[in-house]
């Protein structure tokens, strides 16, 4: 099982209702989007939940940090790099990712997508 999450620098306190709700949503659907003002703890909540749900995903939990990705065309490349998926000659990166991820059961956390909404939606 792969774990590609940063280690928390402090303890996680509270937010039990939000954790339960996001967990429930993840069990019911394949895509969950968290929204809110910057600094309210969306990333921290997602990372804590990812750590808690490691045993629920046979292939682990991975974080793709997109804050420094300025070009929407690079979103698939960022995901491929985070998951160590190698590009295949003559094949689009997105198709390579689809083929590589199809048989896997993985929780993928895309963080800081607000400036790449359309590309992240297509990626997801």
Q: Considering the entire predicted model, what is its pTM?
A: 0.87
10 falls within a domain: no
72 falls within a domain: yes
Q: Is the Cα dihedral 47, 121, 23, 4 positive or negative?
A: negative
pLDDT digits (tens, 9 = 90+) for 10-59: 677 788 898 999 999 998 998 999 988 888 888 899 999 998 888 899 99
Residue 53 structural domain: 15-123
Rounded CA-CA distance 79/93 in Å is: 10
Across the chain, mean pLDDT equals 89
Asked if the model's pLDDT at residue 1 lies above 60, the reply is: no
1 falls within a domain: no
Residue 2: band (very low, low, confident or very high) from pLDDT cuts 50, 70, 90:
low
Domains of the chain: total: 1
In 1-124, at which residue ranges do the beta strands (DSSP E only) sit? 3-4, 61-65, 107-111
2 falls within a domain: no
Rounded CA-CA distance 50/46 in Å is: 6
8 falls within a domain: no
């Amino acid at each position: 099982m792969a774990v590609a999450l940063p280690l928390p620098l402090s303890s996680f306190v509270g937010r039990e209702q939000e954790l339960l709700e996001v967990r429930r949503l993840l069990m019911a659907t394949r895509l969950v989007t968290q929204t809110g003002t910057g600094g309210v703890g969306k990333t921290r909540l997602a990372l804590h939940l990812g750590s808690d749900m490691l045993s629920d995903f046979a292939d682990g939990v991975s974080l793709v940090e997109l804050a420094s990705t300025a070009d929407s065309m690079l979103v698939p490349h960022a995901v491929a790099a985070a998951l160590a998926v190698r590009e295949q000659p003559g094949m689009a990166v997105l198709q390579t990712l689809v083929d590589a991820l199809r048989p896997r059961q993985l929780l993928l956390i895309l963080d800081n997508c607000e400036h790449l909404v359309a590309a992240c939606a297509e990626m997801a």
